[in-house]
């Protein structure tokens, strides 16, 4: 089974909050035998550089040090790394643009940033924007994240099942020789009869890629049930889908995926569906 990814991009500011994303990205690069690209976004704009050249120079020097530290980290871990430093007023926009230019198929990023009010959010503001606008799938890593070694879990909305997210999760599980659990969640038990054949069909497709796949149908609030299923089932990677609303040319994470990212103890992979497709928790 070929690895599901070919072009990895690590988005990092190389702070203590980025440690999990950096470790996970480098472990994934080693596992897949791939080079790793990294983008280091620096908040800047022409007005700032003209008005405060000393501060701008200090910021550049700090970025240079962080770049060299990342390169040394990669050298020690025997990962081929290329680091791009990008200046802009919106770090998330710089990350998305780097992913577009590199045609990345996976962005690896931290879950939250610096301490304070924003750290109390489920997901940091910059990270939330990256996930919402990324042109590819995004892997969100808690601070202590490690490469998955136990089980992959994929959450599927039985009313709008994302076969692409299912295929991605099954591919990762097969590539890592891990079991896969497919979890469908309905609001109440009254919907279970309609969801059961959907889960059965999804399992048949998943097993064509990952024979070690099983399924579970749960009732309740989708984010609570997915996080609980990951915890009790020993999953150390949780896969969900991002919602795209093409009718108003708008992207959003979706409330369920957003809460899962913020509440899960393990890394969460948000599969990005191509334009014009449906399916996935929102």
Instruction: State residue 165's pLDDT score.
Output: 95
Per-residue pLDDT of 162-189, as tens digits, reads 999 999 999 999 999 999 999 999 999 9
How far is the CA of 38 from the CAs of 14, 35, 51, 67, in angstroms? 10, 10, 29, 9
Mean pLDDT of 51-77: 87
Instruction: State residue 250's pLDDT score.
Output: 39
Spatial separation of the C-alpha atoms in residues 257 and 53, rounded to whole Å: 41
Per-residue pLDDT of 239-251, as tens digits, reads 999 865 443 333 4
Per-residue pLDDT band for 55 (boundaries 50, 70, 90) equals confident
Higher pLDDT, 131 or 280: 131
**Is 70 exceeded by the pLDDT of residue 87?**
yes
Mean pLDDT of 128-140: 94
User: Among 239, 11, 232, 199, which Cα is nearest to 113's?
Assistant: 11
Tokens of 203: 């399992």
Model pTM? 0.90
**Is 80 exceeded by the pLDDT of residue 191?**
yes
Sorted by where each starts, the structural domains of the chain and their CATH numbers stand as 8-141 (3.40.50.620), 152-271 (3.40.50.620)
Contact criterion met (CB below 8 Å) for 195 and 217? yes
Instruction: State residue 51's pLDDT score.
Output: 64
Instruction: State residue 1's pLDDT score.
Output: 55
Instruction: State residue 90's pLDDT score.
Output: 92
Instruction: State residue 125's pLDDT score.
Output: 85
Instruction: State residue 100's pLDDT score.
Output: 97
57-66, 185-194, 259-268: the lowest-pLDDT one? 57-66
Mean pLDDT of 136-158: 96
Kindly report the number of other CB atoms within 10 A of residue 71's CB atom.
15
The average confidence (pLDDT) of the chain is 88
**Is 60 exceeded by the pLDDT of residue 120?**
no
């Amino acid at each position: 089974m070929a690895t599901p990814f070919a072009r990895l991009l690590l988005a990092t500011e190389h702070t203590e909050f980025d440690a999990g994303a950096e470790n996970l990205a480098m472990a994934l690069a080693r596992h897949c035998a791939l080079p790793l690209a990294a983008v280091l976004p620096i908040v800047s704009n022409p007005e700032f550089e003209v008005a405060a050249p000393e501060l701008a120079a200090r910021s550049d020097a700090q970025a240079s040090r962080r770049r060299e530290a990342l390169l040394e980290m990669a050298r020690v871990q025997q990962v081929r790394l290329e680091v791009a430093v990008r200046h802009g007023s919106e770090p998330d926009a710089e990350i998305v643009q780097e992913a577009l230019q590199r045609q990345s198929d996976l962005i690896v990023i931290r879950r939250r940033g610096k301490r304070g009010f924003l750290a109390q959010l489920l997901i940091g503001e910059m990270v939330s924007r990256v996930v919402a606008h990324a042109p590819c799938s995004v892997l969100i890593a808690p601070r202590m994240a490690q490469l998955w070694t136990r089980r992959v879990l994929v959450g599927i909305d039985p009313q709008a099942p994302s076969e692409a997210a299912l295929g991605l999760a099954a591919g990762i599980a097969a590539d890592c020789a891990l079991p896969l659990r497919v979890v469908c969640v309905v609001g109440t038990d009254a919907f279970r009869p309609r969801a059961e054949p959907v889960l059965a069909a999804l399992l048949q497709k998943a097993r064509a890629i990952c024979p070690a796949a099983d399924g579970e149908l749960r009732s309740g609030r989708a984010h609570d049930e997915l996080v609980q299923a990951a915890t009790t089932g020993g999953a150390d990677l949780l896969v969900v889908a991002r919602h795209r609303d093409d009718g108003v040319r708008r992207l959003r994470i979706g409330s369920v995926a957003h809460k899962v990212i913020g509440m899960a103890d393990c890394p969460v992979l948000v599969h990005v569906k191509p334009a014009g497709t449906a399916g996935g928790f929102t």
